Amino acid sequence: MTVDDTGSGTGGHPGPDGDPRPAPGPSADPRRADAAGDDAAEGEPSEGGPRAADRGEEPSAADRTAAQNTTGTSDDDPLALRLEALILGAERRYSPFQAARSAGVSMELASRFWRAMGFADIGQAKALTEADVLALRRLAGLVEAGLLSEPMAVQVARSTGQTTARLAEWQIDSFLEGLTEPPEPGMTRTEVTYPLIELLLPELQEFLVYVWRRQLAAATGRVIQTADDEEMVDRRLCVAFADLVGFTRLTRRLEEEELGELVEAFETTAADLVAAHGGRLVKTLGDEVLYVADDPGVAADIALRLIETLAHDETMPELRVGMAFGTVTTRMGDVFGTTVNLASRLTSIAPRDAVLVDSEFAQELRRTQDAPSAEEQVKEDEEQRYRFALQPMWQRPVRGLGVVEPWLLTRRGSPR
C-alpha cells in the first residue's frame, strides 16, 4: 500500500521525451484536478497525469514485484487475491497515483502517509482499494480541519502502522498457523485458511477496537489526573529494565524452538506480572523487558516479584533489574530521556537476581514510607512497617551520566 514519489504534487518531472512536465497537485486548476481524478479512478488517462498507469500502460515487472512484497500477494495467485479481498473488504482498483487523486491529496503527502504506515513503494501497480482512499481522505481531512498538524498526522500513521504490523505478524505466525492445520488427510492448509479467516475476522476486529478503547481510556485517565500541564508530556515516572542473565550464551546452546519458547515464557510472565500489579509494559526486547509505573512502591514490588517468580522456574536463567525515577519523555508509546538511560545502565551492573535503584528512586520510597531512611535504625517490632529495605552500594562513574549511587533493593516480609 504505497507509492512512487514521481507523481508528487510538488515540482515537475520529465515526460517521455525528457522535457520537464508539470506534476498535477494542489497548485493545479481544481476543475482540471477533479476531472483528472475522476478519470484516474476509472483507469482512464488523465489530461495532466504523467504516470504510466494513468496513460493506460501496464505496470513494470519491478512495480508488480514491489506490490507483491507490500501486499504479500501475487497477481498470479487467485486464492491469495481472494484472501486479500476478504480481509480488506474490497478488491484492488487503484494505482498509488489514482488513489491519491481520488482522495484529493498530493502524491507527496500520500507517500508520507503510506510510508509512515510501513508500506513499501509499489510504483505504478494497481494494488490499492477504496479503503486506502478513505484512509488517506480521513488523515488529510484531520489536517485540513486543524485537528492535527501534518507532522502529527504522520506520527499517527507511523505509530498505528508499527503497532498493528507487529500484531498482524504475531497473529499469523503464532495463532493462525496453528489453527489452520488441515483437520483431514488430503486437505491443504490453504483450503482451511479462507473459511477460518472469514469466521475469525469480524470477531478479531471487534476485539481489537475494544482493547484499543480500553487502553485509550486508561491512558487518558492517567494524563488528565496530572496537575501540571507540562507534566502531561514530560512526566515523572519509575522506569525499570528487567534483563535475563547470560542470554547470549543461551542462544548458542539452545535450539531455535527451545529459545523461542523460553523468550515467549519470559515475556508472558513479565507482561502478566506488570499488568496485574499496576505497571505498564512499554516493550519487550527478547531477553529484556521495559516497564514503567507511576508509583515507586508498585515498580519495586513488580521487580521483586519478577525475580521471585523466575527463581522458582528451573528453565529460566537468573534475572537482574535496574530502576530509576525521574522525568521522562513519552513518544509513540515509548519512553526516552536520562531517567531511561540511567535505569538501563543500572541493569547492566546489577548483581544476579537483584534489583538496583538510583538515589532518586530510593528517596521516593522513603518519602512514601515504603522504606526506612538511611539514618533510621529499624527495630525488630517495626519490621512490618516498611515494605522494602535499601542498602547503599559503591558509587561508580557511568559514561554520559556522571557518578551514580546505586541502592540494592530487597523486600521486607512476604509480598502482599
Q: Give the model confidence (pLDDT) of 129-151 as tens digits.
A: 999 999 999 999 999 999 999 99
Q: Compare 173 and 200 and report the one with higher pLDDT.
A: 200
Can you list the positions of beta strands (E) in 248-350? 280-284, 288-293, 319-331, 334-336
Residue 5 has pLDDT above 80, yes or no: no
For residue 284, the cross-strand partners are: 289
Across the range 261-287, mean pLDDT stands at 89
Can you list the positions of beta strands (E) in 181-318? 234-244, 280-284, 288-293
Question: Residue 170 — pLDDT band, cuts 50, 70, 90?
Answer: confident
CB-CB contact of 2 with 120 (8 Å): yes
Task: Map out the domains of the chain as residue ranges.
Answer: 5-153, 159-224, 230-411
pLDDT recorded at residue 397: 79
Residue 338 has pLDDT above 80, yes or no: yes
Q: Is 52 helix (H, G, I), strand (E, B) or coil?
A: coil
Residue 81 CA to its chain's centroid (Å): 27
C-alpha pair distances (Å), 307 with each of 243, 273, 304, 323, 358: 10, 11, 5, 14, 18
Question: Residue 78 — pLDDT band, cuts 50, 70, 90?
Answer: confident
Q: Is 415 helix (H, G, I), strand (E, B) or coil?
A: coil
C-alpha span between 274 and 294 (Å, rounded): 12
Indicate the range of 63-77, 242-256, 365-379 predicted with least confidence. 63-77
Residue 270 has pLDDT above 60, yes or no: yes
Q: Which amino acid is at 264?
A: E
Indicate the range of 22-26, 264-268, 350-354, 375-379 predicted with least confidence. 22-26
Question: Residue 247 — pLDDT band, cuts 50, 70, 90?
Answer: confident
What would the pLDDT profile of 178-205 be if each residue is shown by its tens digit?
666 666 777 777 777 788 888 888 999 9
Indicate the range of 23-37, 78-92, 344-358 predicted with least confidence. 23-37
pLDDT recorded at residue 360: 94
pLDDT recorded at residue 65: 53
All three cell numbers of 57, joined, read: 500502460
pLDDT recorded at residue 23: 38
pLDDT recorded at residue 51: 45
pLDDT recorded at residue 48: 36
Q: Compare 238 and 48 and report the one with higher pLDDT.
A: 238
Q: What is the pTM of this model?
A: 0.61
Place of cell 535475563: 244
Q: Which amino acid is at 288?
A: E
Residue 68 has pLDDT above 60, yes or no: no
What would the pLDDT profile of 21-59 be if each residue is shown by its tens digit?
333 333 333 333 343 344 444 443 333 333 444 444 455
Across the range 70-76, mean pLDDT stands at 57
Question: Residue 67 — pLDDT band, cuts 50, 70, 90?
Answer: low
Q: Compare 121 and 68 and report the one with higher pLDDT.
A: 121
Residue 376 has pLDDT above 70, yes or no: no
Alpha-carbon dihedral sign for residues 100, 106, 110, 111: positive
C-alpha span between 305 and 311 (Å, rounded): 10
Would strands 319-331 and 354-357 be described as parallel, antiparallel, or unpaired?
A: parallel
Superfamily for the 230-411 domain: Nucleotide cyclase, GGDEF domain (3.30.70.1230)
What would the pLDDT profile of 293-331 be if each residue is shown by its tens digit?
999 999 999 999 999 999 988 888 899 999 999 999 887
Q: Compare 209 and 183 and report the one with higher pLDDT.
A: 209
Q: Is 1 helix (H, G, I), strand (E, B) or coil?
A: coil
Across the range 110-135, mean pLDDT stands at 89
Residue 16 has pLDDT above 80, yes or no: no
pLDDT recorded at residue 380: 52
pLDDT recorded at residue 324: 96
Indicate the range of 101-115, 178-192, 252-266 predicted with least confidence. 178-192
What are phi and psi for residue 146, nearest 5 degrees?
A: 80, 10
pLDDT recorded at residue 172: 78
